[in-house]
Amino acid sequence: MNIELTQDHVFQTYARQGRPFVKGEGVMLYDDQGNEYIDFLAGIAVCNLGHCHPDITAAIAAQAGTLVHVSNLFYTAPQAELARSLTEKSFADRVFFSNSGAEANEAAIKLARRFFQAKGEAHRFKIITMKQSFHGRTMATLSATGQDKIKKGFYPLLEGFVHVPFNDIEALKSALDDTVCAVMMEPVQGEGGVIPCDSEYLESVRQLCTDTGTLLIFDEIQTGMGRCGTLFAHESYGVTPDIMTLAKALANGVPIGAMLATEAAASGFDVGSHGSTFGGTPLATAAALGVVRLISEDGFLASVCEKGAYFMAQLNGLKEKHKKVVDVRGKGLLIGMELDVSKGKTASELMSECFKKGFIINAIQDKILRFAPPLIIGTAEINQLVAVLDSLLAGED
């Protein structure tokens, strides 16, 4: 019934799999027929603490029983406390709350442009982003995204976005002139194929932006909140931005987005310049406070690094064993395995085979398997998935 209702009444913009899910617990999901699945996608890097974490559930229930929404015309304690927690744990001085990653990126785009217009430099409005990047599906974030395939049918896009190759500092230098207000990029391209930045490249980007007075924006919507082994992925590079965006895992499944900025960059906004009716509600921020606290506990991020290294090693073992595996790359527990799909099954077909065997993974660009499990995943579950992938790849040799 749920499948038929969805097909009859919901926009058909997703290729959905399987039966309706009715329960989640830890790294497990259960459908309406009692089938069990080990989740290696976490709602697309959202449920970093697993499904229905008891502490987050308790925080949501407690807040739902006291105060859910009053609007940003008033003060609320959870929002203030979350903003303090995020700034204390980052480079930033101020936080703007939204409902999603796309909205957080919209805010960053608007802030970068208004920052220079407020200084009388209206000619600085262009934003450089990277080819194969993904920043959202609103008109501005779609324009910022460096993938033509998702732009089809939505032209004309917004002006003022320039796309250059990722990890190519010379291309960035060539594009960066006095009309550019910001460089916007992901420390690890997720939708673009799980491609990490080169360390020297990111350091050079930061220096180039500093030298030219250009704002540097890091889109950490997929890579933030411990996903890459540090609270924010850029920390492992020793490079800080002027503006950063978060969403996805910030509240472990409750919709929320955030744009963080230095005091200097934040000066581009003043009263009335930007807003969000539902941004940073007491409910969402109470959940996010619980997430930040748990991820910040001693040893948590170290365990993400350890499990990420273990997972990567096991997948590299498959690369050595199976010719179909072209590359294994990533950071922490955001990992991609690129396949040779010139012969045999595509990544989407292998994803479907894994689903039939009770494992939820993701396929991007039809040649890359993406793994973004809850950060509480164990080596036992990793071993089970690797064994299934080994058997499937054996049939491709």
DSSP class per residue in 308-333:
HHHHHHHHHHHHHH-TTEEEEEEETT
Q: Is 397 a known active-site residue?
A: no
Reported as a single tens digit per residue, the pLDDT across 331-381 is 999 999 999 999 899 999 999 999 999 999 999 999 999 999 999 999 999
Q: Give yes or no: residues 60 and 9 share one domain.
A: no
Reported as a single tens digit per residue, the pLDDT across 101-126 is 999 999 999 999 999 999 999 999 99
Q: Rounded to 5 degrees, what are φ and ψ at 266? A: -65, -20
- Domains: count for the chain: 2
Q: Residue 24: which of 57, 62, 60 has the closest Cα? A: 57
Reported as a single tens digit per residue, the pLDDT across 292-335 is 999 999 999 999 999 999 999 999 999 999 999 999 999 999 99
Which ranges of the chain would DSSP assign to H, the alpha helix? 2-9, 42-45, 54-64, 77-88, 101-117, 139-144, 169-175, 199-212, 263-266, 282-295, 300-321, 347-356, 379-394
Tell me the C-alpha distance between 43 and 242, whole Å: 29
Q: Is 134 a known active-site residue?
A: yes
Q: Give yes or no: residues 230 and 305 share one domain.
A: no
Q: What's the pLDDT at 2?
A: 86
Query: Percentage of residues in the chain with pLDDT exceeding 70?
Result: 100
Query: Torsion over CA of 164, 165, 166 and 168, rounded to 10 degrees?
Result: -100
Q: Give yes or no: residues 90 and 46 share one domain.
A: no
Q: Which of 235, 266, 295 is at the close of a domain? A: 295
Tell me the C-alpha distance between 335 and 114, whole Å: 36
Q: Provide mean pLDDT across the span 41-70.
A: 98
Other beta carbons within 10 angstroms of residue 389's beta carbon come to 24
Q: Give yes or no: residues 102 and 42 share one domain.
A: no
Angle at 280 between CA 264 and CA 49, to 5 degrees: 105
Q: Give yes or no: residues 210 and 69 share one domain.
A: yes
Catalytic, out of 116, 134, 232, 371? 134
> What CATH number did the domain enclosing 124 receive?
3.40.640.10
Band (pLDDT 50/70/90 cuts) for residue 1 is low
- Give percent helix, percent strand, percent coil of the chain, each to the nearest 5: 40, 20, 40
Catalytic, out of 219, 307, 324, 331? 219
Q: Which of 261, 295, 329 is at the close of a domain? A: 295
Q: Give yes or no: residues 257 and 126 share one domain.
A: yes
Q: Give yes or no: residues 59 and 23 share one domain.
A: no
Q: Which of 246, 265, 295 is at the close of a domain? A: 295
Which range of residues forms the domain containing residue 227? 55-295
Q: Provide mean pLDDT across the span 386-392.
A: 97
DSSP secondary structure letter of residue 51: B
Tell me the C-alpha distance between 3 and 361, whole Å: 21
Parallel, antiparallel, or unpaired for β 243-246 and 215-219? parallel
Mean pLDDT, rounded, of the chain: 97
Catalytic, out of 126, 248, 307, 324? 248
Tell me the two tokens of residue 391: 């058997």
> What CATH number did the domain enclosing 329 receive?
3.90.1150.10
Q: Is 93 a known active-site residue?
A: no
Q: Give yes or no: residues 19 and 64 share one domain.
A: no
Q: Give yes or no: residues 280 and 326 share one domain.
A: no
Q: Give yes or no: residues 191 and 102 share one domain.
A: yes
